[in-house]
Structure 1
Amino acid sequence: MPLRVEPETTFRDALRNQNGKAGRPLAGMWVCSGSPLVAELCAGSGLDWLLIDAEHSPNGLESILAQLQAVNGYPVQTVVRPPMNDTVLIKQYLDLGVQNLLVPMVNSAAEAESAVAATRYPPHGVRGVGSALARASRWNRIPDYLARAAETISLTVQIESSAAVGAVEEILAVDGVDAIFLGPSDLAASLGVLGQQEHPEVRAAVEHCLKAAEAAGKPAGVNAFNKDTARSYLTAGASFILVGADVSLLARGSEALAAAFIKPADGQEPASY
């Protein structure tokens, strides 16, 4: 007899139960290195969630699969960001066993509806059917997977443009959008203040979206590596947050070692982001 398995709880469930552990917002970090070893190190950190990124990181289907396998069994929610809101890519990610998606650059309700449709089988969506071949269903070892697939998937859409901020209420109203996530870096670029995530207009736009999400009864998260900014957004109502990245931790940590033991030849301190 084959082993019958059940899907894990989703990020949506964690946010609903929430705000997670001890009634608080969920804190997480980016995993951008493409390394299953690093992903597993991060999974055991005690953080609530990880975001495996394929938009700005060297991750393909094979490396995402390896990282999902590496973090499996750890008490952490794993969210994966595809490079774009694309039906075929989303199908492939879901078949790999990705249960929690963060779809970038969603600028309208129509684009949000497209993302939802990509996660649902017909007649409720357009996801291609290949469960017998897919890790998602554990090769049809999850009972009634086709009928229950929507229950096993959570969808968060990313608000990171002035157009998305203007349409945030409509995006939040889309059935199947479980949460929104604010990206201050691209939002700053869209608002004409590239590289200025702390700009008052950016902060105001983020806080506007947090209030809209609260009014809609849906969770909203935000990316904020600056600790003071992160705490400010949590106070403003963020339900989940990203506060660091594996590659940034390694970059800043290695720079600190160099600064402690090697004096720059020109006497200047190295610049870092």
Structure 2
Amino acid sequence: MPIRVNLPPTFRDRLAQADRTLVGMWVSSGNALNAEICAGSGLDWLLIDGEHSHNTLELILAQLQAVAAYPATPLVRVPECNTALIKQYLDIGAQNLLVPMVNTVADAEKAVAAVRYPPHGVRGVGSALARASRWNRVDDYLAAANGAVSLYVQIETAEAVQNAREIAAVDGIDGVFIGPSDLAASMGHLGEQGHPEVVDAVETTIRAMTELGVSVGVNAFAPDAARRYIELGVTFILVAADVSLLARASEALADTWLPSAGDAAERASY
């Protein structure tokens, strides 16, 4: 007899049970070993990024398999709100999705439809072929699938900030995630996530979601900004990335051990 499988809790479930902000990090290296190392760190969750990294379906699948043995919950960001691509992400077993650049109610509704089976959505049915159902080893997967997937959308433009309350109210949206970098760019402050106008837009969105009782997350690598957003009530936050940690740590190593730490030309000769 085949083994019957229970799927792990969704990120929605984790947030509902939490009594504090869930803290996580990006996994952008496209490497399953790195993902496993990060999963064992003790952090609450990981964001496996398919938008600004070289991650392919095969690489994301390997990372999902690598982190499955650890308590950290993986959230996977798709490159765009593409129905066919979202179907593939779901079928490889990504239970928790983050969709970027959701600016309107229509964008949010399209994302919801993509993750739900008919009659409530347009997700194609291929569960017998897919890791999502563990190849039909999950009992009644088709009937339970909508509840086994959580969906988060990114608020990362000035337009999205204006529409945030309406976006969050769309049935099937489990929460919003604020992206200060793209938000800054859309507001004319490229590369200035700490600009007062950008910070105000972020804080306005956090307060609005908190008032509505909607899960809200934010990206904040600067510790002071992260602490401020936690104080404001974000329910989940990203505070680092695997690639940035490696970059900064390797630079610190060079600063410590090279005879002329600030000399880029000398570093390049090694």
TM-score range with shorter-chain normalisation?
over 0.9
Residue aligning to 2:72: 76
Residue aligning to 2:91: 95
Does 1:111 find its partner at 2:110?
Answer: no
Aligned length: 266
Judged with a 3 Å threshold, the aligned counterparts in structure 2 of structure 1 residues 148 and 80 are, in CA distance, closer, same or farther, namely: same
User: How far 1:24 sits from its partner (Å)?
Assistant: 1.0
- Equivalent residues in 2 for 1:1-273 (5 A)? 1-18=1-18, 23-262=19-258, 263-264=260-261, 266=263
User: C-alpha offsets along residues 61-86 of structure 1, whole Å, 9 cap, x if unaligned?
Assistant: 00000000000120111000011111
Judged with a 3 Å threshold, the aligned counterparts in structure 2 of structure 1 residues 13 and 261 are, in CA distance, closer, same or farther, namely: same
- What code does the residue aligned with 2:170 have? V
Q: Helix, strand or coil: the match of 1:260? A: helix
User: Runs of at least 4 residues of structure 1 off by over 3 A?
Assistant: 264-268
RMSD: 1.5
Is the CA contact (8 Å cut-off) linking 2:254 and 2:261 kept in structure 1?
no
Q: Helix, strand or coil: the match of 1:203? A: helix
CA distance in 1, matches of 2:68, 2:246: 23
Judged with a 3 Å threshold, the aligned counterparts in structure 2 of structure 1 residues 125 and 264 are, in CA distance, closer, same or farther, namely: same
User: How far 1:55 sits from its partner (Å)?
Assistant: 0.3
User: How far 1:215 sits from its partner (Å)?
Assistant: 1.8
Greater shift after overlay, 257-266 or 77-86? Answer: 257-266
Judged with a 3 Å threshold, the aligned counterparts in structure 2 of structure 1 residues 140 and 200 are, in CA distance, closer, same or farther, namely: same
CA distance in 1, matches of 2:262, 2:93: 50
- What code does the residue aligned with 1:68 have? L
- What code does the residue aligned with 1:122 have? P
Is the CA contact (8 Å cut-off) linking 2:255 and 2:262 kept in structure 1?
no
User: How far 1:266 sits from its partner (Å)?
Assistant: 4.8
> Under a length normalisation based on structure 1, what TM-score does the superposition of the two structures give?
0.95
> Under a length normalisation based on structure 2, what TM-score does the superposition of the two structures give?
0.96
User: How far 1:265 sits from its partner (Å)?
Assistant: 7.0
Q: What are structure 2's unaligned runs of at least 5 residues?
A: none
CA distance in 2, matches of 1:144, 1:162: 42
Q: What are structure 1's unaligned runs of at least 5 residues?
A: none
